[in-house]
Amino acid sequence: MKALLFNCLLLLSFLGIAQTNTKVNPIPGPSILNDLVIGVPDLKNIELGRVKESLKALSGVYWQGYCEDQHNVLLQVDRSVQNKDNKEIIDAILRVKNDYKIYVKTKSIAQAVNMCIDKEKALSK
């Protein structure tokens, strides 16, 4: 009887340790960075800094630049953090000025920069 009780306790302690070990270090999924080009035709240079700071404050949003002549905001977005509907990103821009007209473009950052007159300046803004 003592041997049976000892074996049961040993088995229960082993199961408890096994369950604890599986929860200690969950493996996070890989981040999925996507290019996002947003057209904001009414964006003035004087407001650019505020838009940039508003977007940089969002988790999973990385500022890449601004194409002045095309009025395109260039971002990389971690889709494991930000939804594909871009609502939080658009809301962050609208917090700076709520009457901006915003257009989500279907092009990559490289394509957007290629259309800029001053390509180097676009990636440095």
What does the pLDDT profile of the chain (125 residues) look like in tens digits? 555 554 544 444 554 544 444 444 455 566 689 999 999 999 998 999 999 999 999 999 999 999 999 999 999 999 999 999 999 999 999 999 999 999 999 999 999 999 999 888 888 87
The 10 Å Cβ neighbour count of residue 82 is: 20
Degrees, nearest 5: CA angle 29-55-67: 110
- Whole-angstrom distance, CA of residue 77 vs CA of residue 60: 6
**pLDDT of the residue at 2:** 53
Domain boundaries, the chain: 33-124
Fold of 33-124: Alpha-Beta Plaits (3.30.70)
CA 70/CA 111 separation, integer angstroms: 12
**Separation of alpha carbons 93 and 46, rounded Å:** 14
CA–CA distance, 66 with 18 (Å, rounded to integer) = 51
Q: What is the pLDDT of residue 62?
A: 97
pLDDT of residue 104: 96
Please tell me the distance from the alpha carbon of residue 15 to that of residue 56, in angstroms, as a whole number.
Answer: 45
Q: DSSP letter at 12?
A: H
Half-sphere exposure of 53 (CA within 13 A, CB side): 7
- Assigned token pair, 27: 């493996």
